[in-house]
Amino acid sequence: MGFATKGWRRIVIGDVLFYWTAQYRDVWPAVEGAVPNRIPVPPTLSYAAIRPEREPYRLLDVHCGYGTRSIASQHITPAVVQCWIETARSHGWPGTRASLRLDGVDEDGNLSAGIPQPDVCDNSAWLTSTVVGIARGIFRDQAFDLLPILADALQDAGCEDERLLGRCRGNNPQCHGWWVVGLLLGASAAGAEPATPIQP
């Protein structure tokens, strides 16, 4: 094994053994310039991590909601994990893709079979200074009313991903607002930062 399995649960699907765990963590504490300074309780992210036993470097990361809309770990059952693995397999994980990130909740914030999240890092042109600046402002001030403006800025930057834009313009911003902002700021921190970002 290439990683410590203490605290991980096991599930066998077909003839493959997978390890999985459900956890909570603070959202983006290391994103420079995006750490909230007026949020009483830091937003938390619930997620599940899944790895095949024989290839533990192949990670399936399933996001399960933010803040008060996070899915409690006790609701993430082996049957749900199996659905996520089957969805991931249909998108090439772990066979041809070393990692994959799924959105594990639906539009209403309930657990779903999982849908691959857009790969913002592969579309760094979307991360203009305007987009990153608006995303940081939403994060810092919990200003979810700015999500439609963020969608407009993404479209101006060439984004045509209807799911990403729809999450900005749809209902339930407390759940899906963090999802969109997290994707954008996470990609920005990963090295796709624009040359002249707007400072929050």
Whether 27 and 99 have beta carbons less than 8 Å apart is answered as no
pTM: 0.68
pLDDT value, residue 176: 65
pLDDT value, residue 198: 31
Q: What does the pLDDT profile of the chain (200 residues) look like in tens digits?
A: 456 788 899 999 999 999 998 876 654 444 444 444 444 344 555 678 899 999 989 999 888 766 555 566 667 889 999 999 999 999 999 998 888 888 887 777 778 888 887 777 678 889 999 999 998 888 888 788 899 999 999 999 999 988 888 888 877 666 666 778 877 887 665 544 432 333 33
CA-derived radius of gyration, the chain = 17
pLDDT value, residue 1: 46
Q: What are the phi and psi torsion angles at 99 (to 5°)?
A: -150, 155
Cis peptide before 94 (omega within 30 of 0): yes
pLDDT value, residue 193: 40
Q: What is the dihedral of CA 141, 142, 143, 148, to 10 degrees?
A: 140
